[in-house]
Amino acid sequence: MENHWGKDPNRQTGTPEYGPAPDLDEIINGAVRLGTGIGSTVLSSISYALDRVEEGLNSVRGSAKEQPFAHWKRKLDKRLQDKNQGEALALAITGWTLAACFGIAAVVMWALAAVGPQGLGVTQEEFLVFPILMACFTPLTVGFGIMGGVGVKKYRYIGRLRRYLRGARDWVCEVSALAQASLLSRKQVCKDLQQAVANGDLPNALLEDGKLYLDLERCAPEETPAPQEPAQTEPATDEAECFRREGAAFLEDLRRCSGKLSADAEEELVQMQKICAAIFGFVHNHPEQLPRVRRLREYYLPTTRKLLDTAQGLGEADGTHAQEIRRDITGILHTLNQAYSKLYDTLLQDVSLDVSTEIDTLETMLRQDGLTHDFESDFKNG
């Protein structure tokens, strides 16, 4: 007779009828795996919560300390790029895409309406749908076209703001300096900055007296009492002082670039320092020559500075493109030195003519007054 395990008691071996008995090792391993999974999940949640707490504490500490200008500028530039410029790009793409779709549909409806019901083989009632749809699609095309144009305009506006931001070197910036760094007119820069301050694109900023205060909490303009007697200054004197400051800043940039470029470029930089210093000194002594260096101020100097910034930004890169950029910049530095030398010679020519005229006049008056004597002729006669 078989027992409750379903096998003959006289048999020594056999398989149970209801399967093998549970393995104790597998039960223990399963419990360990389950506990490990639960523990890792709990620990991950705790770690995530601690990370969030640490970030919150860091943000509180960071707000209490003064934020470095470079970090603040990068953060604002990224926000303008990701949010404002991204929204403008999406608006432009959506507007132009829908304008193209509805425009094509309007043209198709116009073509079908021009064929007429006889050409299409439809009744007059069925034909009316084509002019109706054309009348609906046409204003939609115009509306979405305007939407795309607004997006493009906003995208370019945000792009200019980012150029101004990259040209800023401190919390307080001269509008003229931003115009030179961005290679745009002062009028355009003022217009964009006024719009940015009014719309909040540059948060907590202020535009006042030709200066842009990027953060009023750090760089609020000082209130100065109005003078009782306004100073009588000539515009030419103010312009000459501005040019002197611009020249000093340019020479300082050239000195900072020393030792960071190639050997050939280093020679060109030294030569450029000598020539530009001579030009700046000459114009300082002859302010009436300012109109003749206007192109130098408004284009050549800012462009040269931009090229030098590009060369320094390459760092130690030795790629093919980096070498080509360095070679091109070195070549244009040589060309610029030739142009600056020619400009300096041109300035000296006018002064040389004036000096010659004054000397001739002076010698004539000395002879007329009998204040000169030819001692050589007296020696010969004696």
Chain segment 341-371, per-residue pLDDT in tens: 888 888 887 676 667 777 878 888 887 887 7
Q: How many helices (H) and strands (E) does the chain have?
A: 14, 3
**In terms of domains, do 253 and 151 share one?**
no
More confident residue, 94 or 382: 94
**In terms of domains, do 77 and 154 share one?**
yes
- Residue 4 is predicted with a pLDDT of 47
**In terms of domains, do 52 and 142 share one?**
no
Whether the per-residue pLDDT at 63 is higher than 50: the answer is no
**In terms of domains, do 80 and 206 share one?**
yes
Whether the per-residue pLDDT at 10 is higher than 60: the answer is no
What is the spatial distance between Cα 213 and Cα 293, in angstroms, rounded to a whole number?
A: 29
Residue 3 lies in a domain: no
- Residue 54 is predicted with a pLDDT of 63
More confident residue, 197 or 69: 197
Mean pLDDT of 84-101: 88
Closest C-alpha to 248, from 177, 167, 166, 349: 177
Instruction: Using only the alpha carbons of the chain, give its radius of gyration.
Output: 40
Which residue range is the domain that position 281 belongs to? 236-368
- Number of domains forming the structure of the chain: 3
Whether the per-residue pLDDT at 93 is higher than 80: the answer is yes
Helix axes of 129-167 and 186-199: crossing angle, nearest 10 degrees: 100
More confident residue, 40 or 71: 71
- Residue 205 is predicted with a pLDDT of 79
pTM value is 0.42
User: For 210-247, how does the pLDDT look when each residue is reduced to its tens digit (9 = 90+)?
Assistant: 888 887 776 666 655 445 544 444 444 578 888 888 88
**In terms of domains, do 43 and 92 share one?**
no
What is the spatial distance between Cα 23 and Cα 26, in angstroms, rounded to a whole number?
A: 5
Contacts of 185 (CB under 8 A, 6+ apart): 179
- Take residue 313 and report the two structure tokens written for it: 């930004």
Q: Three-state SS string across 186-231, please? A: HHHHHHHHHHHHHHCCCCCCEEECCEEECCHHHHCCCCCCCCCCCC
Phi-psi map region of 209: left, alpha, beta (phi>0 left; psi -120 to 50 alpha): left
CA torsion through residues 78, 80, 81, 87, sign: positive
Q: Sorting pLDDT into bands at 50, 70 and 90, what band is 5? A: very low
Give me the percent of the chain exceeding a pLDDT of 90: 4
Residue 4 lies in a domain: no
- Residue 285 is predicted with a pLDDT of 86
**In terms of domains, do 290 and 205 share one?**
no
**In terms of domains, do 355 and 317 share one?**
yes
What is the spatial distance between Cα 358 and Cα 19, in angstroms, rounded to a whole number?
A: 125
**In terms of domains, do 49 and 79 share one?**
no
> How open is the CA angle 162-163-164, to the nearest 5 degrees?
90
Give me the chain's average pLDDT, please.
Answer: 76
